[in-house]
Amino acid sequence: MGGDFAPFEAIKGAKNFLNSASSDVHIVLIGDEDKIKSIVEQEGIDKTQYTIFHAPETIGMHEHPTKALKEKPKSTINVGFQLLQRKKIHAFISAGNTGAMMVGMHYTIKTIEGIQRPTIFSVLPRMNTSTPGLLMDVGINADCKPENLLQFGILGSLFSKSILQNSHPPKVALLNIGEEEGKGNKLAQAAYPLLKENDKINFIGNIEGRDIFTDKADVIVCDGFTGNIVLKLSESFYDITQKLSIKDDYIDLFNFEDYGGTPVLGASEPVIVGHGISKANAFSNMIESAETIIRSRLLDTIRDNFSK
C-alpha cells in the first residue's frame, strides 16, 4: 500500500515479474485484501503464485515513523516486518515511508551483529563499463561517523562482488573534495585512514564529484546527506534531458524509475525500500533484486565478514 501509485503499480510489477521469471518465487501481497483482490483478478494473475495477507492500515508518506508504527499496528509495514521476523517471508519490499521502514526494521529484525548503521545505496550507470557502480549512503544516515563510512565500504564491496559479480576486488573510494589524503571535511579526513588500513576492501583513495559516473571506483562511500543530494541532483539531470527531448542510450540509464529501490544493507533479513514514485517496472526489478539477494546468500557473506 506504499508509494504514490499503490496498490496498482505494486501488483502490476508482481505480475510482470511472475510472467518473466523462470523461477518459483511466490509473492505475498500485504495490504487491503479487497483492493488487492479486485486488482489481481482484473490482471488475471495465476492464483498459485501469490497469497494475499490482509493489513487494513496504511502509513502515509509524511507520517512520523515511530508514532505511525505505534498507532497503526496493522499497517502493511508493521505486518510485513512481523512476517519477516517470523520467517513467513524471505524478503520484504516496500515503496512506502522510508523512515517507517527503517524504524520498523530496528523494532523487529534489527541489523546484523557488528553493523552500527544499515545503509542504502544508489546504482550508478557508467559510460565505460556495463557494471554499475554504487554510491552509499544516500539518505538514511544524514550524520555519519568515520567508522560508519568504513562499514558502508565493506557492505558495498560485498554487494558489488556477490550481486554485480565484479570479478576483481571492487575498487572502494571516499567521496571527497580533493584527491590527496588529508583533503576534505573532518569526517572525510578521519574516514580516510580507516578505509586505507582495512584489509577487507580494495581502497583506492579519494574521488571527486566529477568522477562519480566513471569507472574510477566501483563503490563510493559518503555520508547520507551528501549522497542524497547527489542522488536527487542526478535524477534531476535526467529529468532535464527528458524535458529537452534528448535521446541517448547512456542517458536512458539515468532513468531511476527503472532501478527499483535499494536493499537495506546491514539489515538481518533482506529488506528493499523503493522510491515513492515507483511504478510497475521498479516493483518488478525490486522483486528480482530480492530473489538475487536470497539465492546468492549475500546476508550470510555479510555475517561472516562482520563476525569476530
Beta carbon of residue 248, minimum distance to a second copy (angstroms, whole number): 5
CA distances (Å), 131 to each of 136, 147, 168, 270, in order? 16, 27, 12, 22
Beta carbon of residue 49, minimum distance to a second copy (angstroms, whole number): 37
Beta carbon of residue 217, minimum distance to a second copy (angstroms, whole number): 14
Beta carbon of residue 308, minimum distance to a second copy (angstroms, whole number): 31
Beta carbon of residue 204, minimum distance to a second copy (angstroms, whole number): 18
Q: What is the rounded distance in angstroms from the CA atom of residue 79 to the CA atom of residue 115?
A: 25
Neighbours of 46 (CB within 10 A): 10
DSSP per-residue letters across 217-276: -SEEE--HHHHHHHHHHHHHHHHHHHHTT---HHHHTT-GGGT--EE-BTBSS-EEE--T
* Interaction pattern, residues 210-229, with a second copy; x per rule: CB under 8 A: xxxxx-------xxxxx-xx
* Interaction pattern, residues 33-72, with a second copy; x per rule: CB under 8 A: -----------------------------x----------
Beta carbon of residue 185, minimum distance to a second copy (angstroms, whole number): 4
Size of the site for a second copy (CB under 8 A): 43
Helix 146-162, helix 298-306: angle, nearest 10:
140
Beta carbon of residue 193, minimum distance to a second copy (angstroms, whole number): 17
CA dihedral 237, 238, 242, 246 (to 10 degrees): 90
* Interaction pattern, residues 67-106, with a second copy; x per rule: CB under 8 A: ----------------------------------------
Beta carbon of residue 259, minimum distance to a second copy (angstroms, whole number): 16
Task: Give the footprint of a second copy on residues 229-288 (CB under 8 A).
Answer: 229-237, 239-241, 243-244, 246, 248, 250-251
Task: Give the footprint of a second copy on residues 150-179 (CB under 8 A).
Answer: 175, 177
- Specify the residue, 20 or 185, whose C-beta has the smaller distance to a second copy: 185
Neighbours of 150 (CB within 10 A): 24
Name residue, grid cell 501481497. Answer: 29
- Specify the residue, 45 or 230, whose C-beta has the smaller distance to a second copy: 230
Q: What is the rounded distance in angstroms from the CA atom of residue 216 to the CA atom of residue 233?
A: 20
Beta carbon of residue 195, minimum distance to a second copy (angstroms, whole number): 17
Q: What is the rounded distance in angstroms from the CA atom of residue 291 to the CA atom of residue 213?
A: 27
* Interaction pattern, residues 118-147, with a second copy; x per rule: CB under 8 A: ---------x-----------x--xx----
- Specify the residue, 126 or 279, whose C-beta has the smaller distance to a second copy: 126
Kindly tell me which residue out of 2, 7, 31, 184 binds a second copy, with binding defined by CB under 8 A.
Answer: 184
DSSP per-residue letters across 7-41: THHHHHHHHHHHHH--S---EEEEE-HHHHHHHHH
- Specify the residue, 150 or 187, whose C-beta has the smaller distance to a second copy: 187
Q: What is the rounded distance in angstroms from the CA atom of residue 142 to the CA atom of residue 28?
A: 32
Per-residue buried b or exposed e for 119-133, using 16+ beta carbons within 10 Å of the residue's own CB:
bbbbbbbbeeeeebb
Positions in the binding site for a second copy (CB under 8 A): 62, 127, 139, 142-143, 175, 177, 180, 184-186, 188, 208-214, 222-226, 228-237, 239-241, 243-244, 246, 248, 250-251
